[in-house]
Every structure is written in structure tokens, then in C-alpha cells.
Amino acid sequence: MHRLSAEDLRAILDDAHARKAARKGWPKGRADADAPARDRVLAMIFEKNSTRTRFSFDAAIRQLGGSSIIANSTDMQLGRGEPVEDTAKVLSRMVDAVMIRANSHEDVERFARVSTVPVINGLTDRSHPCQILADIMTIEEAKGPIAGKTIAWVGDGNNVCHSFMHAAPRLGFHFNVACPAEYHPDLHDLAKGGNAVTLTADPNEAVLGADVVVTDTWVSMGDSDYEQRLHAFETYGVDEALMNKADPAAVFLHCLPAHRGEEVTDAVIDGPRSLVWDEAENRIHAQKAVLAWCFAG
Ligand code: CP
Ligand code: NVA
């Protein structure tokens, strides 16, 4: 699978900002002037539920002038045990790119190894890179270039947290993670963050002076230890008191879906510092830049 360089990431983010600005006020179904996905078909495979990823990728490919084919894996032979590699070889003959939301990260790697068309990770148990592009775009809209900013993550050391850790050293931001010891991020992913990432068990310490406070569900798709998690994360909810310990101009992000009263209070997610609806919309713009980058390369 292609690892995006710092230059590629920057170029994708710049294109996302430019594409959003260029179509301000347009109906959502109108294609961008350059239509870089004209004549292209994107396949989307979902092994897990999705609202934002499904609709934003579909809207994105249409706005780029292309079209999509969407399937839940349970409707495919993949769901009956057809090998990932055989599925990848067949789809490579039928479409121009594939987005996969998979239970196992390893399956996406296996798919990408034999696919002859670009494969985009639409979330796995390990990472959620498309989400992070939209998040960084949202932060830049509110606060300017991401380099030098401090982002505090409060909660589970999960897939979304990992993708922030992967991006931090490449885009030059600081990423402070606060999570209970038993739900810390994967150590391999933590190592990828190098000096850009700090880890603590104390949410107050992580948010101190932060420009952005981010959280996510305490129970991700595929997690089975619900009660245990609710107990472990009891003191990790983002409320106004915690937001007040961050920089006075700090903003709040959440990839959604949110569990109000658990990882975030209504007052924060519906409050003036919350950018969650811009963040959700930016999934379209960021993913358009990813797709355009794939088709250009
Ligand atoms: N944030 C996100 O990926 O949402 P969905 O699960 O609805 O796609
Ligand atoms: N961490 C969450 C993100 C959902 C978009 C999950 O994997 O369920």
C-alpha cells in the first residue's frame, strides 16, 4: 500500500481546500470544472456500517465527474469466503479504484497487494486516514496551517487516534494523547509518531494549551467489552470544564457518530467551539482530493 509522503499529504490538503473554495454555493451534484474522474468508476466495499464515509465518497466521485458501485461485503461472495485476493483481481478488471472499509487492516493490505487499481482505506480496526485528512482540513480552515499546532486526543487509543499519530510528524503538529493505560494506542503506531506524539493518562495534562481537542467513541465497531470500556473511560469525557483547560480559542472535533453523555457532552458538541459539522462536510472535499490524486498518478 502506498505510504503518503509529507509532500503528497500537503498537496492533497491544498487541493481539498481549493476544490471546496471553487464550488462554493454550487448544487452538490454539479461536477467540478476539471472533472478529473470523468469516465472513472469507484467501487466501495463495506464490511462495517457507515454514514459519512459512504455518502461522502459517493458525493465525491460524482463531483469529480465519475460514478460509483457500492456493496456491503455480506452481499458479495467475499462475505461467503471468496478470497480477498480473487476479489481484488476481479474488481481491478471492472473499476478504476476501490475504497474498502474492512474489519481487519490486514485484509486491506492483502487486497492492495494484488489490486492493479488504487485502493483507499475507508477505515479498518487499525486506522482511518481519510478521516484525518478531513480533520486537518477543518483545523486549517479555523486556525491556519497545521504545522506547529497542538492537538489533544482524549479517550480511546483507537484507529482514528493512530491515523493522527501517523500524520503528526509528517505535517509537523504535536499530538498529545490522554487515554487509560489499558486502552493505549498500538505501540508500533505510537513509535511512528516519534517526538511529535506524547502519551499520558491525564486528560488535563493533554489538553493544556491545546489548539484542538478531539475525541471519538469509547466503543468502536468490533469492540465487544462495552461495560469494561464505559468504566475505564469514566473520567475521559470531554466537557466544558476540560475544554476550558485548553487554549481559550481551542476548537472541538469528533469524527462522529457521537455518544452524547459518554465521550462528549451536549454542551461541547453543540457549543460554539465545536466544528463537527464542518468536519463531516470536509470528508467530501478531502476525499475528492485523494481520488483526484489517485487518478492523476
Ligand atoms: N466518521 C465516519 O467515518 O463515519 P461513518 O462511520 O458514518 O462513515
Ligand atoms: N473509532 C470508530 C470510528 C467510527 C467512524 C470505529 O472504528 O467504530
pLDDT in tens, 131-185: 999 999 999 999 999 999 999 999 999 999 999 999 999 999 999 999 999 999 9
Minimum-distance ligand 2 atom for the alpha carbon of 131:
5
Minimum-distance ligand 2 atom for the alpha carbon of 156:
1
Distance 128 CA to ligand 1 centre (A): 9
Place of cell 461541547: 268
Distance 101 CA to ligand 1 centre (A): 10
User: With a 6 A CB cut-off, is 132 part of the ligand 1 pocket?
Assistant: no
Amino acid occupying residue 251: V
CA-to-CA distance for 81 and 79, rounded, in angstroms?
A: 6
| Separation of first and last alpha carbons in the chain | 14
Other Cβ atoms less than 10 A from the Cβ of 40: the count is: 20
Strand runs labelled E in 126-190? 150-154, 174-178
User: Is the per-residue pLDDT at 3 higher than 80?
Assistant: no
What residue owns the CA closest to ligand 1's atom 6? 50
Model pTM score: 0.98
User: Is the per-residue pLDDT at 285 higher than 80?
Assistant: yes
Active site residues: 101, 128, 131, 216, 255, 283
Element (H, E) at 105: helix 105-114
Minimum-distance ligand 2 atom for the alpha carbon of 223:
8
What residue owns the CA closest to ligand 2's atom 2? 220
CA-to-CA distance for 294 and 204, rounded, in angstroms?
A: 40
Residue from 100, 256, 287 whose mutation best tests the ligand 1 pocket (most atoms within 8 A of CB) = 256
Residues paired with residue 98 on neighbouring β-strands, in sequence order: 43, 119
Cβ neighbors of 271 (< 8 A, separation 6 or more) are 240, 243, 252
Lookup: cell for 181: 493505560
What residue owns the CA closest to ligand 1's atom 3? 53
Per-residue model confidence (pLDDT) at position 4 = 86
Per-residue model confidence (pLDDT) at position 297 = 77
Q: What digits encode the pLDDT tens for the residues 233-280?
A: 999 999 999 999 999 999 999 999 999 999 999 999 999 999 999 999
Distance 216 CA to ligand 1 centre (A): 11
Instruction: Give the number of the ligand closest to the Cα of residue 101.
Output: 1
CA-to-CA distance for 4 and 230, rounded, in angstroms?
A: 35
Q: What is the CA radius of gyration of the chain?
A: 19
Query: In whole numbers, what is the pLDDT of the chain averaged over residues?
Result: 97
User: With a 6 A CB cut-off, is 134 part of the ligand 1 pocket?
Assistant: no
Distance 158 CA to ligand 2 centre (A): 8
Element (H, E) at 240: helix 240-243
